[in-house]
Amino acid sequence: MGSARLPRDETPEPDNRTTVTFEQIGEGSRMTLRSMFHTDEAFAEAVEYGAEQGYVEGIGQIDALLGAHDAGA
């Protein structure tokens, strides 16, 4: 499979960025997720295809993943 090339007069659109930070809060922690979209249209597309629900589902799995890691799995 070859690599895709853009015509010379086209440039790729800027990437959307997501930053995740973790802070220790007492015996627990706080996770902050911040998504930046390069256009309003890019944000609307993310909403349309369900990105928010995907984040919620993924975040909902973190405790189980960390628990498995702590248990040596």
Task: Summarize pLDDT for 62-72 with one digit per residue, the tens.
Answer: 888 887 777 77
> How many domains, in total, are found in the chain?
1
Position 33 in a domain: yes
Would residue 36 count as lying in a domain?
Answer: yes
Calculate Rg over the CA atoms of the chain.
18
Q: Can you give the residue range of the structural domain that contains 32?
A: 17-70
Q: Tell me the pTM.
A: 0.58
pLDDT at 13: 61
**From the CB of residue 41, how many other CB atoms can be counted at a distance below 10 Å?**
10
Tell which phi-psi region holds residue 24, choosing left (phi > 0), alpha (psi between -120 and 50) or beta.
Answer: beta
Asked if residue 24 belongs to a domain, the reply is: yes
What single-letter amino acid sits at 41? Answer: E
Residue 56 is assigned to a structural domain of this protein: yes
Q: Average pLDDT of the chain? A: 82
> What is the tens place of the pLDDT at every residue in 18-39?
899 999 999 988 999 899 999 9
> Is 12 inside any structural domain?
no
Beta strands in 6-70 (DSSP E): 17-25, 28-36
Nearest to 17 by CA among 31, 39, 35: 35
